[in-house]
A and B are shown apart, each in its own frame.
Chain A
Amino acid sequence: MMARVAAALVSGLLFGLGLAVSQMVNPAKVLGFLDIAGPWDPSLALVLAAAAGVALIGYRAVLSRPKPALAPAFSLAQETGIDAKLVIGAALFGIGWGLAGLDPGPAFASLVFGQSESLFFLGTMGLGLHLARRMN
């Protein structure tokens, strides 16, 4: 139990460090990628590619084992096909991402920079998440 909590802490540390190193905690950097008609900054695409690439290789190695090191089984989402909820949810998510330049991970990590905007965003994000969960 405590080992699993420690593992989650280490994973979070790596994730938070990665978000800061790649500057994805900075809404201006994210919007520089999303604004293709402005002075375009492709950095975010490389962040996603590197993260997904490392995870792709690592996941293959990990999932070739019968179970995770510290838990009885893997908790993975089932591939249930593409439905309206997925598409509408992703579309709304993108609009919000474009409006604020923040998404859940960077919003949390951005708390370190001490700006009240991060808290406003996290507050309404939690509310939105809660509302969607209640509908489901």
Chain B
Amino acid sequence: MENFTPLSALAGGALMGLGAVVLLGLTGRIAGISGIIAGLLPTGRGEVLWRLAFLVGLVGGAAIYRTLGGPLQAIQFSMSTFMIVLGGLLVGFGAGLGGGCTAGHGVCGVARVSKRSLSAVAVFILTAGLTVFLIRHALWGG
């Protein structure tokens, strides 16, 4: 567990939780990223400005961190472009069908103790873990 970073994980998670509380308390909205993005697509139902503002903030928050010289200055993609493109398609389709993503179900739904969200989290962590296991240890022999 040499890569385990408990303090930054707890601090970062708490900031995200705070962001979700701010959004619900002030605007009455759930901080589900896939839901916020879906509202901006051609099938979305209006209320464009606050959605755009949230996404600008999302990128801006990471930009502030980087500008202030946070420890993480580069990210690593170890997988092929094909896997990234396929992964994006499945993540988008799955979030659209299942009504939420890691933020919507994993943070906001769990915070509401929603049975739907708790089930979704259990299912997507399981299939994600199986996928990584197959890729890293079964198919290509680790």
Contact = CB atoms under 8 A, between A and B. Distances in A.
A55 B42 CA distance: 30
A43 B120 contact: no
The prevalent SS among residues of B at the interface is helix
Interface residues of A, number: 119
Contacts of B102: 48, 97, 103-105
Interface of B: 1-6, 8-31, 33-34, 37-38, 41-44, 49-51, 53-66, 70, 72, 74-79, 81, 83-99, 101-103, 105-116, 119-121, 123-133, 135-137, 142
12 contacts: A8-B51, A17-B61, A51-B14, A58-B111, A59-B21, A59-B24, A82-B119, A86-B98, A95-B94, A96-B88, A104-B33, A117-B81
Interface of A: 1, 3-29, 31-32, 34-44, 46-56, 58-59, 61-63, 67-77, 79-82, 85-105, 107-113, 115, 117, 120-136
